[in-house]
Amino acid sequence: MRQFSLAGLLRVRDLEEQRAAVDLATANHALNRIRSHRLKTLALLAETTVDVSGAANLAAAAAARASAQTMLTELAMMHNRADQETQDATKAHNAARAKSLALEKLQVRHAEAEHASDLRAEQSALDEIAIGGWRRGEKGVTR
């Protein structure tokens, strides 16, 4: 049986696909971590009560609110960036998988063709054995 001539390229494509899968997992993990942090921050801010019984408290509350808004804006930007990176990683993984899949299909076709060739050779050998036996039997028979 002949070896699949593109076996080396298939191994490279498989490695590329594995690398793309790792990148996708990393991007998904980062996105989930940022999403979780953002949700926790929103929950903490929602639970916060403000005592505005004086000018100093009002100024502190305004500063805290501005700081929280800035932090939420930064978290939203980080989320958007992480989401884009996840989308890019998904596209890269899908492309790497498509390349691997095409070669895997070629490898299956190659294996099927080789198997059919082996079966034809085996059948040919069996036919030759059968014909040889028939001829030997025919020579021993007189008419």
- Tens digit of each residue's pLDDT (9 = 90 or more) over 14-33: 999 999 999 999 999 999 99
pTM of the model: 0.68
- pLDDT value for 26: 97
Handedness of CA 65, 71, 74, 80 (dihedral sign): negative
Give mean pLDDT, residues 9-14.
Answer: 92
- pLDDT value for 123: 95
- Tens digit of each residue's pLDDT (9 = 90 or more) over 80-129: 999 999 999 999 999 999 999 999 999 999 999 999 999 999 999 999 99
Query: Residue 21 and residue 34: Cα distance in Å, rounded?
Result: 20
Instruction: Look at residues 35, 33, 10, 28 and name the one whose alpha carbon lies nearest to residue 90.
Output: 28
* Domain residue limits, the chain: 7-103
